[in-house]
A and B are shown apart, each in its own frame.
Chain A
Amino acid sequence: MSEASQGTGRGPSHRYVEVGVAIATALFAIIVMIGSLQVGITWGVEGPRAGFFPFYVGLFILISSGFNLYAGFTEYSPSKLFAEWGQLRSVMSVVIPTTVYVLAMPYVGIYLSSFVLIALFMKWLGRYPWGLTLSIAICVPLLTYFMFEKWFLVPLPKGPIEDMLGL
């Protein structure tokens, strides 16, 4: 995949993503260490306190992030791309609908949101005819319903439509 991103296209430099990730892990480490300090990292009557272990875990992440930050600057040339903008656009074309999908799920239920997600994908990215799109978008949630709610008796989140149908 790194070969593919060395093409002629434009996109964010791999070095900056590398550096960004190292900074993000360092921030994560600091949050973990602060959280550990809040519950105590010393010895109490019951032995090492709750923050003892995670504090040092955080410290390890912080130190390693430093090394990774240094490696990000030295080992990656700025001309090497993380990915081309076009590739990132394809990635976002999955991330954005999926974000809407997971955020809408508690309100409209899993069946309706899955129907919309599949239909959108097939119509927008795949450009399939309506017949095929609708049949797959309807069949998958229907199959899910029977498999989970009927055979394995695992309830899935439902919304107003399912309530209306009395399911």
Chain B
Amino acid sequence: MEELANLMHGFGVALQPFNIGVMVLGIVLGVLIGVLPGLGGANGIAILLPLTFSMPPTSAIIMLSCIYWGALFGGAITSILFNIPGEPWSVATTFDGHPMAQQGKAGEALTAAFTSSFVGALFAVIMITLVAPLVAKFALQFGPAEKFAVFFLAFCSFIGMGKEPPFKTLVSMMIGFALAAVGLDSVTGQLRLTFGFTEMLTGFDFLIAVIGLFGIGEILLTMEEGLAFKGKAAGINPRVVWETWKTLPRFWMTSLRSCIIGCWMGISPAGATPASFMSYGIAKRASKNGANFGKGEIEGVVAPETAAHAAGTSALLPMLSLGVPGSPTAAVLLGGLLIWGLQPGPLLFVEQKEFVWGLIASMYLGNLVGLIIVLTMVPFFAAILRIPFSIIAPIILVVCAIGAYTVHNSTFDVVLMLVFGVIGYILKKCNYPLAPMVLAIVLGDKAEEAFRQSLLGSQGSLGIFVSNGLVGSIMFLGLVALLWPVIADGWTKLRTRTAA
């Protein structure tokens, strides 16, 4: 029960007045980021990261992770009231959430969404509390080959599980690796791929890429669509909340199933978006009201929101215990760890107990605080969405520029941000996924280092990656994830043939 004692100590850390303060600030900023077009979890945190440089790491991670929870909550507001998914994983929430709002039941839909988010997150945090220390303990024995195998598994899951064409995912990911390689080679200390440009000596910072690809790219997409926000009024009051809460326990089965789907998908880097769709689809098939899904069924809000939040939260499990982030936002948080001078990975649980358990405790508290804040402040956040885009857009551009500048105090980074933004817009329109690129920029150096160290150990033989049961099975899992569409296809064919 050492973990329980650690967790209690973590609560002690998280409950310090300063940390409570940054928690509330983080949640409010997060919801704001979640509802504003062009700002999402990943780039919002990237922009605000420089503000935390002077904070103690524990307070900094509490603030940033709370921004993340806030952004997850915020996505539901835009989906339900405006039919605009603030984040990709809120798309499934629009299916039933927006029809409910059109029928004048926005309050019920929002309450159901927030409460389900909370339940999903709570389930995932409990899972993290129980599982993360074990995974970390296990991962402490990993050598370079095993480390590379974990990276391999993570990146293969992107290709196999993503909904984009596999070769586009591969291109996007490999561009990330190539950008990560620019600059000083960490193994030999040699300069590479700089082509004599002094600006490229330090390489590409992933924060700049995140702000450009997600922030500027998103604004350009919004401009193209010429969005006029036509929102429904958010009538939410304690009576509506109470009435909705009374109906929610009926959907415990849907909730539980969505929690499990969310946690499962969140740990594998396929992430929250497929989790929310899958959960919605299964709920639709399993529910006796399944035929009404899409017309404003409350269960159709519960299922995707629970799964998305569970997935978003459990994406932090591999980040904390293995140093492999499960989502772009987790990748930005991981980048934060490096900047604050912490080494992500299993050693974190041994060397930085206060940090890890403070963060885990803050996940419990942050989600509770988040639930209260969103339930009470929905009309305020909805009002922000009604501000016309021609006012919001330049302000977001300015905020992105400031965020990009403050990373290294360099105006060249701001130019780079715009370049990434235009590239992000074109790639997004051509159905190239951006998340693998960001993850590859963050993890590129580490994956390369693990790969080269393994090869050094084996004198260049690739056999090292199947040299023992552990590394072999992780690599095998990676291949299964990579070829998953083919395997699933073959399995269905086989089954129909035997049935016929």
Q: Which residues of A contact B (CB under 8 A)?
A: 1, 4, 14, 17-18, 21, 25, 28-29, 32, 35-36, 38-39, 43-44, 46-54, 57-58, 60-61, 64-65, 67-68, 71, 82-83, 87-88, 90-91, 93-95, 98-99, 101-103, 105-106, 110, 114, 117-118, 120-122, 125-126, 128, 136, 140-141, 144, 148, 152-157
Contacts and interface: CB of A to CB of B under 8 A. Distances in A.
Given A48-B452, A57-B178, A68 B192 contact: no
Contacts of B216: 98
Interface in B432-472: 432, 448, 451-452, 455-456, 460
B425 interface: yes
A39 B190 contact: yes
Contacts of A117: 394, 397-398
A71 B53 CA distance: 45
A63 B481 CA distance: 21
A58 B223 contact: no
A32 B430 CA distance: 22
Contacts, number: 182
Given A48-B452, A148-B406, A105 B401 contact: yes
A154 B418 CA distance: 22
Contacts of B430: 14, 17-18, 21
Contact of A54 (B193, B221, B394): B193
A50 B190 contact: yes
Contacts of B190: 39, 49-50
A102 B393 CA distance: 15
A156 to B, nearest CB: 6
Contacts of B422: 95
Interface stretch (B3-11, B71-79, B166-174, B376-384): B166-174
Contacts of A106: 411
A48 B455 contact: yes
Contact of A50 (B171, B187, B390): B187
Given A60-B174, A68-B168, A82-B429, A4 B225 contact: yes
Contacts of B221: 1
B181 interface: yes
B177 interface: yes
B393 A47 contact: no
Nearest to A86: B226
The listed residue with most A CB atoms (<10 A of its CB), out of B190, B394, B456, is B394
Nearest to A69: B167
B127 interface: no
B185 interface: yes
A148 B417 CA distance: 20
A83 B429 contact: yes
A14 B171 CA distance: 19
Contact of B456 (A36, A47, A95): A47
Given A71-B165, A154-B51, A50 B393 contact: no
Contacts of A38: 192
Interface of B: 50-51, 53-54, 165, 167-168, 170-171, 174-175, 177-178, 181, 185, 187-188, 190-195, 216, 219-221, 223-226, 388, 390-391, 393-395, 397-398, 401-402, 405-406, 409, 411, 414-415, 417-418, 421-422, 425-427, 429-430, 432, 448, 451-452, 455-456, 460
B387 to A, nearest CB: 10
Nearest to A49: B188
B378 to A, nearest CB: 25
The listed residue with most A CB atoms (<10 A of its CB), out of B409, B451, B452, is B452
A78 to B, nearest CB: 15
A71 B219 CA distance: 28
Contacts of A51: 192
A64 B167 contact: yes
B167 A102 contact: no
17 contacts: A1-B225, A1-B429, A21-B430, A61-B171, A64-B171, A68-B171, A71-B167, A82-B429, A88-B224, A94-B397, A102-B401, A102-B411, A114-B401, A118-B398, A121-B394, A128-B390, A136-B391
B437 to A, nearest CB: 11
Given A52-B452, A64-B167, A102 B418 contact: yes
Contact of A91 (B50, B54, B175, B425): B425
The listed residue with most A CB atoms (<10 A of its CB), out of B167, B220, B406, is B167
Contacts of B395: 118, 136, 140
A166 B191 CA distance: 41
Contacts of A144: 398, 402
B393 A121 contact: yes
Nearest to B422: A95
Contacts of B425: 91
A121 B50 CA distance: 27
A12 to B, nearest CB: 11
A122 B390 contact: yes
Among all A-B residue pairs, the 8 with the closest Cβ atoms: A126-B390, A121-B394, A35-B193, A50-B185, A54-B181, A47-B456, A106-B411, A67-B167
Given A57-B174, A60-B170, A95-B422, A118 B394 contact: yes
Given A98-B216, A99-B418, A140-B395, A53 B401 contact: no
B415 A91 contact: no
Given A1-B225, A88-B224, A61 B175 contact: yes
Nearest to A116: B394
Contacts of A90: 223-224, 226
A49 to B, nearest CB: 7
A90 B221 CA distance: 10
B51 A152 contact: yes
Nearest to A44: B188
Contacts of A25: 171, 175
A57 B411 contact: no
A157 B417 CA distance: 16
B167 A68 contact: yes
Contacts of A88: 224
Nearest to B181: A54
